[in-house]
Structure 1
Amino acid sequence: MPKTYSINGVQLKTNYLKLFYNPKLKQRARTFRKARNLPEVLFWVRVNKGQFYGLDFDRQKIVGNYIVDFYCKSLGLIVEIDGSSHLGREEEDAVREAWLSDQGCRIIRFTTVLILEHMDQVIEELEDFVLENYT
């Protein structure tokens, strides 16, 4: 029997996706995981090991030809944390997001400033997003 998840008593619908994986990105993803980006580490501390309603998140996950910041396999959910490296890359990010959406993924984005200054708000927004998209 598949595992079930709920938030505040509301059962979530899982969305396991079969996604293409580019093994050539494996070393790059590993390097990103070791980089210890502070906003990513702070978010990871809040969602690691099922701390967010039992859901399992992976860091720097390869999805197709992209590496996403966080991926929740049971929901097909991508969490992106946007910092200064995304400035001037809006068009590239839009193409990337469109491809990921076409694969069935849902994407939520947070800024590094929001993560650093209002982590509780980030967790609340993530909770709301999951409830809106997976019930």
Structure 2
Amino acid sequence: MTRFPYDRNLRPLARALRKNMTKSERRLWTHLRRKQRGYTFNQQFIIGRYIVDFYARQLRLAIEVDGVTHDYEQGDGSDAERQRALEALGITMLRFSSTRIFKDLEQVLYEIDACIDGCERKRRSQ
């Protein structure tokens, strides 16, 4: 399992984000925690200079929940830059809007499970 270097100065922020998860993050977390999808997911996980909402280290799978703040950030390209940097480390990124988590949770979970299957195959072939 690869461990990535991370900015230790982000620890207090990650801890605060864990304590103050959004409603959509909390809703998704109830389906990711305790190996419900077969793997351990961590919440508000630090990778390099970024914090991802949920991360399964064994799979190198990061899941992001995009709320209102991401709508405003898209104009400056920070989400895209962040995703490119994480993917360059070999991390698979999944993004879901908070609205979608509330309106279509079953499909979101289906897509997560399909991605987990793909990550498992990729991991076995390496």
* Fold-level similarity (TM above 0.5): yes
Matches within 5 A, 1:1-135: 16-52=1-37, 54-90=38-74, 91-135=77-121
Q: Alpha-carbon deviations, 1:27-69, whole Å to 9, x = none?
A: 00001011131111111100101011x2000000011001100
CA distance in 2, matches of 1:131, 1:48: 18
**Which secondary structure does the structure 1 equivalent of 2:116 belong to?**
helix
CA distance in 2, matches of 1:89, 1:72: 25
Tell me the TM-score normalized by structure 1: 0.84
Q: CA RMSD in A?
A: 1.1
CA distance in 2, matches of 1:115, 1:28: 24
In the alignment, structure 2 segments of 5+ residues that lack a partner are 122-126
Tell me the TM-score normalized by structure 2: 0.89
Contact 1:17 1:104 in 2 (8 A): no
In the alignment, structure 1 segments of 5+ residues that lack a partner are 1-15
CA distance in 2, matches of 1:45, 1:87: 24
**Which amino acid counterpart does residue 88 of structure 2 have in structure 1?**
D
Higher relative contact order (CA 8 A, sep 6+): 1
**Which amino acid counterpart does residue 29 of structure 1 have in structure 2?**
A
**Which secondary structure does the structure 2 equivalent of 1:89 belong to?**
helix
**Which secondary structure does the structure 2 equivalent of 1:60 belong to?**
strand
Matched residue, 1:4: none
Percent of residue pairs identical = 31
